[in-house]
Structure 1
Amino acid sequence: MEWDTVTLEIDEDVATLTIDRPERLNTLTVDALEAVAEALDAAAAAEVRALVLTGAGEDAFIAGADVSYMTDLTTPEAQAYAELGHRVVDAIETFPAPAIAAINGYAFGGGCEFALACDLRVAAEGAVLGQTEIDIGLVPGWGGTQRLSRLVGDETARRLVFFGERLDASEAAAIGLVGEVVPDAELDDHVARMAAELAAKPAFALRGAKEALNAVHDGSQTVGLDYEKRLWSGLFGTHDQREGMAAFLEKREPAFE
């Protein structure tokens, strides 16, 4: 299968899924999200033993959802967008093999949430991460309010979400948001070696281990994720959402109420 917005390469037992919109910093449109979902299904059908998720180009892993698409959404349209984003991120989290995020640049908003859904996160030295939705009048809408605190702790997650902080790779590693930082030029090779090592492990045991590790959070997280979707979409149509996105697109400071 081929898509305009993503590429999927399968080399022996390793699948590499690349968001391929470098001219737009790999931001996620509806088409891109649907393509990612199809690519994940194709990789699962191929019974790969490891998945690598990354972004095309040198500037961005995934710089977030597409603000130019979101700016005029109604609440029902925003709910549908949230549902789609959650479906894709959940598919990453439950993919039947370990998933590694190779974070090669900006990972903001939905991009950070894609990384959170992976089992392992490796950042290039030049990467920058953050749940930056507050600056456009929103909250994380694809799982960030629930998954972030699992990695970094409750107060740190609150600070990141409330202030929309942007962290460089070393800062992200220091709080546990990423597990490892490597030089920019070494990211692809380093992650490829990790994926190959995982692919050589016993597949059924790895899958079972992943399911067991995920099950620790399933009970309360399900309720929290449902609430997050309703909260995120309910903010569409507010003054701050309209103003925040307009200011973002016009490259100016927002005037929130």
Structure 2
Amino acid sequence: MHMSQELIWITGASQGIGKALALAYARAGKTVAISARHSENLQSVAAEAASLTGRILVLPCDVTDKNQVISSLNQLIEQERLPDRIILNAGTHQAMSARTFSADTIAKLLKINTLGSAIPLEVLLPHYLKQGSGQIAIVASVAGYRGLPTASAYGASKAALINLAESLRSELYSSGVDIRLVNPGFVKTPLTDKNEFDMPFLISAEKAASTIIRGLSGKRFEIVFPTPMAIAMSVLKWLPDRIFFPLINRGTGHGR
């Protein structure tokens, strides 16, 4: 398909990685539907893209509300057509220590991060299965590889997405529906700007977007970056528990 004909739907597109993806795709001449809860933020992104060769369509939507997702997809199909690709990027972060453990925080992050991808999946997947094509990219995080201090809520929500993507990929491998998994490390966004700790291998949202775009045009199931962070987290993923837990406990200052 010619680049100018491709239609991409991006959720969580009002800031951070989602915004950078939308602008990068529009710069490449594609048509991009962008969704988030706040219309004014989406309009700001569209204004930034006004001089670019592609188009940005503003599609306000709370992805945790199935009726809104259905309505948004119907609107997109009516105005354009079924999107060729959806990037499920909506999410948030909230640190939570063991000493302030809250089931409400778990529920909040699971709703936004996990259900915020699962609901659009439920709505869009039948269309892709019927036509035997379409790409669905699920944005999780390397934080879902192993449990890390203060990340019991965030990490759990991202680990669920990793397992979800792997399960769908294995079941739909021969269906023509292309399931992809995106696992970023630390990316400079308004969310990570709130972190009060050093973030190793921090990269810009623009660099993250270019890596994701390149990865989604390739063949690999998992797109994980930046490379040094991917290597470090992969090592931790396979490190024996008897080494991992005391190492992380002391290395993050919780053993003092």
> Higher relative CO (CA 8 A, sep ≥ 6), structure 1 or 2?
1
| TM-score normalised by length of structure 2 | 0.30
